[in-house]
A and B are shown apart, each in its own frame.
Chain A
């Protein structure tokens, strides 16, 4: 019984992703935005870095000693790509719920027997397509414009790092979804958390330049490990064995966040059922 239920939920998961993909396809101009931003934003930072440091060898050496790579463009592009993917996931479940709420479909979804995880995460699976699209654009831009090549084995190792980070990021996203059910609005909170990640997680800079207390904060945040480890495998040629301690921490934080998210979502769903706020916005 449990097995067939799980299989039915997995099928529903696929259907939710397919539904979202179909809706996205009805607005094809969205793809052009994703063609532009993954290149434009990091490129601006590359130019900024060149503007500040020029061709100074001392500056490049200083960067290499702190970042563990001499590839400034690669460093910034990987940081930005990871950050954009993180943003997608943070917004994902909360936005999915909010969109259903505003559209008027949320009650219809909650009247079906499907697991709430399907409603939360099914739609954002379709964003894997966006993520692949974005990473492909970033990889292409690095090769074409900056001559930075990403060897396929390194890309595979990066994929492992991304998969290990998934529970932590989806857990955070689900926590935001719980906020949507409780307060109906999550944008301000997501922006605040993104701000914290921008300052502490080393998206555009190596975190060793942070003061000690800020580094301590950074080491409690999952994106720090994701961004740092992606750079290590893609730019510094690190193997996965050397990243095991980092990945273990990332996975532990992920499991903790997922547990918290499940409890929080159950509580807020109950709150919504008691107060009748499921369809209110």
Chain B
């Protein structure tokens, strides 16, 4: 049995909040800064050849986890292994066998061409001189930048720069790729393009561990997904498996102009379905309800509104998404 691509046990990362002045250090005063856990005991097991997603809102601890796996941060507790190698004790070997996209196009040299950037990083990744040219050509081809290889990076669009960062991560011919929010800031076409490239990587037999806060991206790309919130994994399964955790097949979103009887109205809606989320904004009550059949629930919702003197102004019926899974697990929307 082969070792897993990624294995983390009880991974913790603590940071200090606030500052400790020079004089406090000089006087050796006790460190009274508040410590908070960005990552709070994450266990991960990523099999070789899968696309594994870490889905969560901003600040959930996704990037911190990735940086620990990429050897850029030292864990405060717990262990992590990449391809069987310890990320702290065997950091250099880990770096040799892994590619990572943990940043945007700023991490490139804009005054160099795409090829010059890759030539430099190929040397830093210890790609043998005899192989470097072919490896660079393959990486550029993989991200569809071979026709722009001799252009300065400063002339690239954001999407092209992000693809070049991915090409750089391919230089060591890695078995594992870590991609942290790879499509953030990209236009829909560029994001779709990059997702296609990620699928190509899987078809070449590589393992991909990616983080995202885009539920559609996680749903479309990933074989399995870990949903994280406040530094902890709150659910882990296939996208379909996660959606099955909600006892509903459809989601109904209502916008209701209601008066004072909000609590009574919600109580009535709760009897017909499961109210997952509600919020009032500018006099309009937005309610998200999980139900087995929208066909049965919607008439009941109109009856409930009528009984409480409220008016439903908008109805939207959608299938269950990972957003709903997150909502049911945390009581918050991914975007909050």
- Chain A interface (Cβ within 8 Å of chain B)? 5, 8-9, 11-12, 14-16, 18-19, 22-23, 26, 103-105, 107-114, 118, 270, 273-276, 278-279
Contacts and interface: CB of A to CB of B under 8 A. Distances in A.
Given A16-B120, A113-B93, A273-B72, A107 B126 contact: no
Contacts of B129: 11
Contacts of B102: 107-108, 111
Interface stretch (B54-62, B108-116, B196-204): B108-116
Nearest to A11: B123
A230 B101 CA distance: 48
A114 B126 contact: yes
19 contacts: A15-B123, A16-B120, A18-B119, A18-B120, A22-B111, A104-B103, A104-B106, A105-B106, A109-B124, A110-B71, A111-B71, A111-B102, A112-B125, A113-B93, A113-B124, A114-B125, A270-B74, A275-B16, A278-B72
B176 to A, nearest CB: 13
A118 B124 CA distance: 9
A40 to B, nearest CB: 28
A17 to B, nearest CB: 10
Nearest to B117: A19
A276 B15 contact: yes
Nearest to B178: A111
A236 B240 CA distance: 84
Contact of B15 (A104, A108, A270, A275): A275
B244 interface: no
Interface residues of B, number: 36
A110 B107 contact: no
Contact of B116 (A8, A19, A118, A276): A19
Contacts of A118: 124
B306 interface: no
Contacts, number: 93
Q: Closest 9 A-B residue pairs measured CB to CB? A: A15-B123, A104-B106, A8-B126, A112-B124, A113-B96, A113-B95, A108-B107, A12-B123, A273-B74
Contacts of A8: 126, 128
Contacts of B112: 19, 22-23
Given A19-B116, A103-B106, A273-B72, A113 B123 contact: no
A114 B206 CA distance: 23
Given A111-B100, A273-B72, A276-B73, A26 B111 contact: yes
Contacts of B116: 19, 22
Given A16-B120, A108-B103, A276-B67, A113 B73 contact: no
B228 interface: no
A111 B106 contact: no
Contacts of A14: 123
Contacts of A110: 71-72
B156 interface: no
Contacts of B93: 113
Nearest to B110: A103
A107 B72 contact: yes
B121 A112 contact: yes
Max chain B Cβ within 10 angstroms of own Cβ: one of A18, A105, A275: A105
Contacts of B73: 273-274, 276
Contacts of B126: 5, 8-9, 11-12, 113-114
A26 B95 CA distance: 31
A105 B106 CA distance: 7
B168 interface: yes
Interface in B120-149: 120-126, 128-129
A48 B111 CA distance: 42
A258 to B, nearest CB: 21
B70 interface: yes
Contacts of A107: 72, 102-103, 107
Contacts of B280: none
Contacts of B15: 275-276
Contacts of B122: 15
B198 to A, nearest CB: 19
B92 interface: yes
B120 A15 contact: yes
Contacts of A276: 15, 64, 67, 73
Nearest to A4: B126
Given A107-B102, A111-B71, 18 more contacts: A9-B126, A15-B119, A15-B122, A15-B123, A23-B109, A23-B112, A104-B103, A107-B72, A107-B103, A110-B71, A110-B72, A111-B70, A112-B124, A113-B93, A114-B123, A118-B124, A273-B71, A276-B64
A219 B272 CA distance: 89
